[in-house]
Amino acid sequence: MTRIDRKFAALKAEGKKAFVAYVMAGDPDYDTSLEIIKGLPGAGVDIIEMGMPFTDPMADGPTIQLAGQRALDGGQTLEKTLAMAREFRKGNDETPIVMMGYYNPIYNRGVPKFLEDAKAAGIDGLIVVDLPPEEDAELCIPAAKAGLNFIRLATPTTDDKRLPKVLQNTSGFLYYVSITGITGAAAPQAIDVAPEVARIKAQTDLPVVVGFGIRTPEAAEQIAGIADGAVVGSAIVKLIEEQRPLDEILAYVKSLADGAHRA
């Protein structure tokens, strides 16, 4: 079992839903970003999604695009992102970390080396949004052999014919993108998302967490209530962009986590 598997098992035993928080590694700079990431578990975050900055983030809206650009401008690299995970692990060996991003930096490093380095750094899972199931041999299957979960995204356009293909090598959890479009766009409505989550859960035993567009504790509670957890990214990244104090960022994260945990 990975840390992700253990986390979901523990939450299920407690009758709780998961709260997943996304931040861009290196935004606004290495030291501040590391401080934020280290503070997330204490704010109630169950799983940390750590963005890998990339020059062409096609699935991301303006907020996360700008975060990636700030990180790159500050000198953030894949090596520094792995170093951040290693530093986090010195004080926390429990909270799962998922690296989320695009295939190009991984390909550039070389898949075997990347997987070895990621595992050694304490990474638990990968979300690589531009690798479809048809390319599973490229990274997904090697990642599973290395002991890393490969987490796939499903969307409102993933129909019943496509869904089994999406699920076949997915592990850890399935990330359901609640809206059509980019990150940070329209807010999802639980009444619309619930049937889709039920449809997916009829085909898999994996936990299903829902993200894109969640900004309030109430929305986190409603979405977590019809799924196995909620993900928030852009709303947190926006506070980092606004250079809010660390305690203010973490207080906001805690309010969202509390909402999800009330579900």
* C-beta neighbour count of 127 within 10 angstroms: 23
In what helix (H) or strand (E) does residue 125 lie, and over which residues does it extend?
strand 125-128
Task: From 173, 214, 169, select the one nearest 193 (Cα to Cα).
Answer: 214
In what helix (H) or strand (E) does residue 31 lie, and over which residues does it extend?
helix 30-39
* C-beta neighbour count of 75 within 10 angstroms: 10
SS3 at position 129: coil
Task: From 249, 252, 228, select the one nearest 16 (Cα to Cα).
Answer: 228
Query: 205: which 2 tokens?
Result: 């035993």
* Residue 150: exposure state from Cβ atoms within 10 A (0-12, 13-18, ≥19): buried
Q: Which residues are catalytic?
A: 49, 60
